[in-house]
């Protein structure tokens, strides 16, 4: 599948499931790794993960396109376009989109620690020595939560 085909596919899905035209650019991004696709807030373009398409095929690609079109249409209409928004969740369910998130939704921390006293969570890029570091709120001991 080439980029022109992707463009046409997104336009077709937009009309079929959203009853509204897709008026921007859709293309494969060969560098996307951890997400199925992403909607670009500034340009309103949609980028799709080529490797995922190669691996899972067109059916999954269509589900990702539906997800990104939910962001697209709601954003352009000034409605709740983020994952946490009720309008987004309702529309996604309506059209049967995938639950894959875009790049910004992938957490950039690797290690999670939980305070054993107050249960507060701490996200860290690097591992910390739990024998040395305590909870900043209550001074409780931390437990590593892989
Ligand atoms: Zn998303
Ligand atoms: Zn604590």
Question: CA-based angle 82:84:87, to the nearest 5?
Answer: 70
Find tokens 């995938």 and name the residue: 98
- Confidence at 43, pLDDT banded by 50, 70, 90: very high
The pLDDT, as a whole number, for residue 107 is: 44
The pLDDT, as a whole number, for residue 2 is: 84
Is residue 77 flagged as an active site residue? no
Model pTM?
0.68
Q: What is the pLDDT of residues 89-121, one digit of tens each?
A: 999 999 998 876 543 333 455 788 899 999 988
> Does residue 61 share a domain with residue 15?
yes
* 145 CA to centre of ligand 2 in angstroms: 15
* 22 CA to centre of ligand 1 in angstroms: 17
> Does residue 94 share a domain with residue 33?
yes
- The answer to whether the CB of 101 falls within 8 A of the CB of 82 is no
- The answer to whether the CB of 48 falls within 8 A of the CB of 72 is no
d(CA 12, CA 7): 9
- CATH number of residue 54's parent domain: 3.30.2010.10
d(CA 132, CA 143): 12
- Confidence at 51, pLDDT banded by 50, 70, 90: confident
The residue annotated as part of the active site, out of 54, 59, 68, 77, is 68
> Does residue 41 share a domain with residue 27?
yes
- The answer to whether the CB of 97 falls within 8 A of the CB of 87 is no
Average pLDDT across the chain, whole number: 87
- CB within 8 Å of 85: residues ≥ 6 apart: 74, 79
- CB within 8 Å of 37: residues ≥ 6 apart: 46, 47, 48, 49, 64, 65, 67, 68, 100, 102
> Does residue 99 share a domain with residue 43?
yes
> Does residue 97 share a domain with residue 26?
yes
* 113 CA to centre of ligand 2 in angstroms: 11
> Does residue 124 share a domain with residue 88?
no
Domain interval for residue 87: 3-105
The pLDDT, as a whole number, for residue 101 is: 57
> Does residue 87 share a domain with residue 38?
yes
> Does residue 8 share a domain with residue 80?
yes
> Does residue 128 share a domain with residue 79?
no
């Amino acid at each position: 599948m080439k980029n022109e085909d992707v463009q046409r596919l997104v336009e077709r899905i937009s009309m079929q499931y959203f009853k509204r035209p897709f008026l921007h650019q859709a293309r494969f991004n060969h560098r996307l790794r951890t997400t199925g696709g992403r909607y670009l807030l500034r340009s309103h373009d949609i980028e799709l993960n080529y490797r995922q398409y190669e691996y899972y095929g067109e059916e999954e690609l269509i589900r990702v396109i539906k997800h990104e079109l939910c962001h697209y249409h709601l954003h352009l209409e000034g409605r709740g376009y983020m994952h946490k928004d009720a309008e987004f969740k309702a529309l996604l369910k309506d059209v049967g989109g995938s639950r894959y998130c875009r790049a910004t939704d992938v957490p950039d921390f690797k290690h999670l620690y939980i305070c054993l006293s107050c249960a507060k969570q701490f996200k860290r890029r690097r591992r910390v020595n739990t024998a040395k570091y305590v909870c900043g709120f209550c001074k409780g001991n931390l437990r590593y939560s892989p």
